[in-house]
Structure 1
Amino acid sequence: MLSIALGPIVISISQLITLSGLVVFWGLTYLQTRNNAQQKEILNHIFTAIFTGFITARLAFILTMWQAYQENWWQLLNISDGGFLSGYGWAAGTLVLIRFTISNKSLVKIYITSAAITASCLIIPIFSAALYQSGIELPRSQLSNMQGQEVNLSAYKGKPIIINFWATWCPPCRREMPVLDAAQKTHKDAVFIFVNQGESPATVEQFITSTQLDIQNIFSTRVVTLAKNLVP
């Protein structure tokens, strides 16, 4: 997944495109209502819809991963983990706007016009991001499974792939493993790969056993270059 790091916050390209679309939608609505006495109220409706969608998308994700979050309640507020189910957010935000248009039919044309132009503006960025990501090749690196057999990542090509680099001595890695374990069970359409950084199979197996995790696709590498090779 393509992403941009802003300090401790990592924003995926899809999330960035979504944010850009919301800004464009708000701007277009602002221009259409600049001579409307109710402009402030109309724009407030958009902010309410965005806020509702944001909260709904986050809560939907938290409920999906509820068991993992119980081990660390503070992570509920850590939106930098990118935990959002956008489909629920879009549905909630749309319902809010529909509710406001029921009492003011003139808003229907304004919102539809803004939405149509916004969608047209986002076609090229969405298509470009999809085309670019489809061209990224998985690197050829020396990986081995817990039995010492060599593994080629190209064998997993064709599905969405999430690669997690971790080590048993890394506190943040240990905290996120239950979340990723739950995600692996929930998202069957994606492949989760866990690459341990330079530790022995015995150390890895001891950690997995002690934490009672049921993680699949655990590999190890003695050469810590795979993460760098993934950067296009």
Structure 2
Amino acid sequence: MAIGPFLIGGDRLVWLAAFGVAVLAGIILARARRARLVDRLFALAFVGLVAARLVFVARYAALYAPHPLQILDLRDQGFDLWGGLAGAALYALVAGCRVPALRLPLAGALAAGGLSAGLGFWGLAALDTQPTHLTTIPLARPNQADISLAGLADAAPGKPMVVNLWASWCGPCRREMPMLARAQTQYPGVVFVFVNEDDSRAAMQRFLSDAGLKLKHQLIDTQHRLAETWAVRGYPTTLFFDGHGKRQARHTGLLSPATLAARLRGLTGS
């Protein structure tokens, strides 16, 4: 889902919906006690987001150091879940201690939000009909024979794979592409594949030439077969596969060096 310059994945929508449920439950529960809870819930969400961001930035401080302003660019979706939950829990504890009338409605609101989030993620998993492994769809390559993602994996057995679907007209794609091109040499144990979704090869080649970018595994999907298979709704979309070719993660929107490192840590464990 796209909102202005932001691409929001299904997991983010689940969190937003869960927060809405928590607010609704809080309003109902607080009414009987004549307590004002909504402001507290918004403050709790803000504290949780700030804590999640700060913990993530602290974990990957070395990658943010060259460009400190990237810390403020939340489009990379760099948040630490446990850091955010800890921050939110601490705020809830303090609020409950200061205003006893808030304890029950606050606990009920958080329970309703947590249950909604759990059901939402369960629903996402149940409705996910996309392939769980690398596809065998043949894709064109510049000056080479067609090949599939599974075929590329066979040529590099045991290596995790990152598949970036992009287009030359996509602003975030153009912004992250130099970083991903450098990642090819920074992470030699990972196969990076770039699948272009432009309607013509000329647009892709013109952008790469003007930017001076060299991509080792460059595939062309002018018919958008791969994008349709993975139900891509916006670009860039990046898929992460482990060494057995199984899909482990999907990132919708801009990647930063830090969020790329976090995703790769989940694949390689290092």
What range describes the TM-score normalised by the shorter chain of this pair?
0.5 to 0.7
Q: Percent identity?
A: 22
Does residue 153 (structure 1) correspond to residue 149 (structure 2)? The answer is yes
The 1-side partners of 2:184 and 2:97 are apart by: 42
C-alpha separation in 1, matches of 2:55 and 2:186: 13
* Residue 9 of structure 1, aligned match among 6, 9, 14: 6
2:106 counterpart letter in structure 1: Y
Q: Which residue of 1 is the match for residue 258 of structure 2? A: none
Does residue 67 of structure 1 match 2:73?
Answer: no
Cα distance change, pair 160–221 in 1 and its aligned pair in 2 (3 A):
closer
Between 76-85 and 190-199, the greater mean CA deviation after superposition: 190-199
**1:26 shift after superposition:** 1.8
Alpha-carbon distance change, 222 to 102 in structure 1, aligned in 2, over 3 angstroms: closer
Q: Is the 8 A contact 1:65 1:179 kept in 2?
A: no
* 2:117 is aligned with 1:118: no
Letter in 1 for 2:164: I
SS at match of 1:194: strand
Contact 1:165 1:227 in 2 (8 A): no
Aligned length: 212
Evaluate the alpha carbon distance shift between residue 56 and residue 194 of structure 1 in structure 2; reply closer, same or farther with a 3 A threshold. Answer: farther
Q: CA deviation at 1:181?
A: 6.6
Change (3 A) 1:154 1:143: same
Q: CA deviation at 1:182?
A: 8.5
* Separation in 2, partners of 1:182, 1:206: 12
User: Secondary structure at 1:111's aligned position in 2?
Assistant: helix
Contact 2:165-2:227 within 8 A present in 1 as well: no
- Matched residues in 2 for 1:62 and 1:181: separation? 23
The 5 A counterparts of 1:183-194 are 193-194=193-194
- Aligned-pair CA distance for 1:114: 2.5
Distance 1:65 1:177 in 2: 21
**How big is the shift at 1:51?**
0.7
Query: 1:90-115 deviations in whole A, cap 9, x for unaligned?
Result: 22111111122233455443333223
2:27–2:38 CA contact under 8 A, matched in 1: yes
Displacement of 1:193: 3.5
Q: Whole-Å Cα distance in 2 between the matches of residues 7 and 170 of structure 1? A: 13
Residue 221 of structure 1 aligns with which residue?
220
Which residue number in structure 1 is paired with residue 47 of structure 2?
Answer: 52
Instruction: Indicate the structure whose relative CO is greater, using CA pairs within 8 Å and at least 6 residues apart.
Output: 2
Helix, strand or coil for the counterpart of 1:33?
helix
**1:23 partner SS:** helix
Paired with 2:109 and 2:74, the residues of 1 have a C-alpha distance of 28
TM-score by length of 1: 0.67
Give the equivalent residue in structure 1 for 2:231: 231
Alpha carbons of structure 1 residues 19 and 192: separation in structure 2 relative to 1, 3 Å: farther
1:136 has 2:130 as partner: yes
* TM-score (norm. length: structure 2): 0.59
- Whole-angstrom distance in 2 between the partners of 1:46 and 1:186: 42
Answer whether contact 1:57 1:84 (CA < 8 A) is retained: yes
How big is each residue's C-alpha offset from its partner over 1:25-55, in whole Å with a ceiling of 9 and x where there is no partner?
1221121111434x22x43332221111122
Cα distance in structure 1, aligned partners of 2:15 and 2:77: 13
Label 1:10 to 1:172 Cα distance change in 2 as closer, same or farther (>3 A). closer
**Contact 1:61 1:85 (8 Å CA) reproduced:** yes
How far has the Cα of 1:203 moved from its partner?
5.3
1:127 to 2:122 alignment: yes
- How large is the Cα RMSD of the aligned pairs? 4.2
Which sections of structure 2, spanning at least 5 residues, go unmatched? 154-159, 233-270
- The equivalent of 2:81 in structure 1 is 86
User: Match for residue 177 of structure 1?
Assistant: 177
Runs of at least 5 residues in structure 1 that lack an aligned partner in the other structure: 209-214
Cα distance change, pair 182–206 in 1 and its aligned pair in 2 (3 A): closer
